[in-house]
Amino acid sequence: MKKGLILTLILLVGMLSLFSQDSMTEAPEEQITQILTTNPLGSLFGFYNVSYERPLSSSGSIQVSALVQSLDIIIAQVSTFGGGVAYRNYLHQTAPSGFYVAPSVSVLYGSAMEDIYDTEGSVRFLLVGGVAGYQWISIGGFVVDISAGVNAIFGAPIQPITSPGFGFAVGYGW
C-alpha cells in the first residue's frame, strides 16, 4: 500500500510539470499512433486497469481496456476482472488528442467470499454507456486523460441501474 501511494505521488508531481505553459504543447497528432494509459489512483483501492488506444481515422479511435480488482475488506474478499471497448470520436481535433465523446461496452466478472457465514458468490455485469473527455499529449508523448460519463449496468442479482463515472488516466503515446 505504501509503495502504491509513493508511486502515485511521484506520478502526480511529475504531471504538475506538464501543465506549465512551455511543456504542455500538444504533440503532432500524426506522430502518435498508439497510446497506453492507466489510472494511477486506482491502485490505492486495489483497482488496476490498462487501456490501449489506436486511431482508426483522422477523427476516431478505438480503445480496448482490461481491469483487475482485488479488495480485502474486514469481512470479505472481493475480486473483479473484465474488459471493454470504446469508440472515441474526437470533435474538432485529430485523433487521439483533444475533446472526445465515446460510446462503450464492458463486461465484468466478480466474485466475493464472506467470512462470517463462510459464503461465496459470483456475478456478471454488462455495462453499456458513454463518456466525454479530453486527452492531452505532451511533446514527449506523455498522456493525460480526464473524462466523465454514465453507464447502464445489467446483470444478476440486481435490477438494471445507471451509474455515473469519472475517469483519470496517465500514460504514454508513440
DSSP conformation class of 26 = B
pTM of the model: 0.80
CATH number for the domain spanning 101: value is 2.40.160.20
Instruction: Work out how many domains the chain is built from and give that number.
Output: 1
| Cβ atoms 125, 111 nearer than 8 A | no
Per-residue pLDDT tens for 64-95? 999 999 988 888 899 999 999 999 999 988 99
Domain that holds residue 155: 2-173
Residues 112, 86, 137: CA angle, nearest 5 degrees: 110
Per-residue confidence (pLDDT) for residue 33, from 0 to 100: 94
pLDDT greater than 90 at residue 12: no
Per-residue confidence (pLDDT) for residue 37, from 0 to 100: 98
